[in-house]
Amino acid sequence: MSITAIPGLLVVDLPVHGDNRGWFKENWQQEKLAAAGLPDFGPVQNNISFNAARGTTRGIHAEPWDKYVSVATGRIFGAWVDLRGGETFGAVVTVELGPEKAVFVPRGVGNAFQTLEDDTAYTYLVNDHWSAENQDAYSFLNLADETVAIEWPILLEHAQLSEKDRHHPRMAEVEPLDPAPVLVVGKNGQLGRALVHLLEERSLPYLALGRDELDLAAPGEWPAIRWRDYRAVINAAACTAVDTAETPEGRLDAWAVNATGVTTLARACGEAGVPLLHVSTDYVFDGTLPAGQQYEVDDAVCPVSVYGQSKAAGEAAVAALPAHHVVRTSWVIGEGKNFVSTMAALAEKGIDPDVVDDQTGRLTFAADLAEGLLALLDQQVPWGTHHFTNAGEPITWYGVAREVYAAVGADPERVSPITTAEFTADKDGIAPRPENSVLCRTVPPGTALDVDHLARLHEFLTG
């Protein structure tokens, strides 16, 4: 497997086995190619372009799907031009292909070839079907464009081209293609808002839906969505009313959203071949790990609350997909109601709270979590389960409350420690919480999740 000057464009060496009868090759062997580093792009169609004469030239076409190209008979000169917006717009890669090579072409990269022998059969797998409704996602470049200056082995004036290919626009007239949009489910939560803000800040295309538009608890009422049009689906939606989930009504909602709804979402993504990024929680663990230890991604789940049980069930559904990321996180702080904003409000009102001092974890700031989720896609991190929190030493909720009071100019001594048992002694319907919520950190390199959570807390409160 060889990388190229065009990000995502990969050249694959294919073993060809021959004898006196001819030759044989495994043109597409998903398990071996995935192990070698080729994306599991989920092809849905196999096409063959037969070219009778040497010099037949086709392209340059960029389409809204990934493509895996190879040659069954003959040889071609292949040319690829990056027509996606970004630093590599206009980058060119050329490779001569016979049966012994294949090329993976990501969405938005222009594809062209010229046959070097008569009776050449050019084959390609794609992971979507042509759609007349999606014409804005196609782009074309003239084969003779002077900017990219492809050195065709057979001069174009002597080659066989279609009239349509002869009249495609020059590079100066080509609008760079946007990447496929991201679909965000749960836009109104702390994480959903952070994701929308980050996608807009980076000028990335997206569609964000709230519960009034896509309610995980009511799959039969979902809007018509062509899932395959999306780069990925990020599920930031959840029923997080931990205590309410212990009631008969709340239990129904928690399971409908966090388990049944997520299972339906996973099925839709799986059928469309679209990656699903699903956000889960430390509550899938029982929290009995001894102090000083942290939960690893492959530790067995053992939830003790209805909320944790429903989230664990959702994880299991997502993990069955070939292309998925399950991201467990803890103690999320963002725009909206959360522990930090509550403590800051109590400090301002002059209230001296009792806060539990026997539950330990790390804060995770929604903006940093959003950055980490996009990094999973940008850095092509292998599919699987991850633990995302901000960095730094673990702390108790009591310790966080003291940090909040100090950050807003209040005396932290006004906060008093209390045990969970004392806090819940006179209260009904309180769900059990993990005492140890410390997750090992498996975050992609170079993201804001590497910032210490207490330093980020002070930034969050002081602006």
Q: What is the CATH number of the domain that holds 255?
A: 3.40.50.720
In the predicted structure, residue 136 carries a pLDDT above the cut 80: no
212, 161: one domain? no
Instruction: Give the model's pLDDT for residue 174.
Output: 95
145, 263: one domain? no
186, 111: one domain? no
Cβ–Cβ under 8 Å, residues 382 and 444: no
221, 82: one domain? no
**Residue pLDDT, tens place only, 233-255:** 999 999 999 999 999 999 999 99
pTM here is: 0.88
| Helical (H) or strand (E) element with 418 | strand 416-418
Last residue of a domain, one of 173, 204, 235: 173
Confidence of residue 220 (pLDDT cuts 50, 70, 90): very high
168, 187: one domain? no
Q: Establish how many alpha carbons lie within 13 A of residue 55's alpha carbon, considering only the half-sphere containing its beta carbon.
A: 8
Looking at the annotation, which residues are catalytic?
61, 124
62, 199: one domain? no
98, 30: one domain? yes
Q: What is the mean pLDDT of residues 170-184?
A: 94
222, 294: one domain? yes
Cβ–Cβ under 8 Å, residues 265 and 235: yes
Instruction: Give the model's pLDDT for residue 390.
Output: 98
CA distance 332 to 354: 21
Instruction: Give the model's pLDDT for residue 218.
Output: 97
CA distance 127 to 323: 14
Instruction: Give the model's pLDDT for residue 42.
Output: 82
Percentage of the chain lying above the pLDDT 70 cut: 99
Q: Count up the domains in the chain and report the number.
A: 2
Instruction: Give the model's pLDDT for residue 327.
Output: 98
Cβ–Cβ under 8 Å, residues 245 and 307: yes
In the predicted structure, residue 415 carries a pLDDT above the cut 90: yes
118, 224: one domain? no
Residue carrying the six token digits 């939606």? 237
Residue carrying the six token digits 């002869």? 166
The domain of 18 spans 2-173
Instruction: Give the model's pLDDT for residue 135.
Output: 67
User: Over the chain, what is the mean pLDDT?
Assistant: 95
Instruction: Give the model's pLDDT for residue 131.
Output: 75
Q: What is the mean pLDDT of residues 259-263?
A: 98
CA distance 158 to 173: 25
Cβ–Cβ under 8 Å, residues 221 and 263: no
Helix (H, G, I), strand (E, B) or coil at 103: strand
Q: Which pairs from 411-414 meet CB under 8 Å and 24+ separation?
A: 414/347, 414/352, 414/353
**Residue pLDDT, tens place only, 316-355:** 999 999 899 999 999 999 998 999 999 999 999 999 999 9
Question: Which phi-psi region, left, alpha or beta, contains residue 8 (left: φ > 0; alpha: ψ -120 to 50)?
Answer: left
In the predicted structure, residue 79 carries a pLDDT above the cut 90: yes
Helix (H, G, I), strand (E, B) or coil at 428: coil
CA distance 356 to 365: 21
213, 161: one domain? no
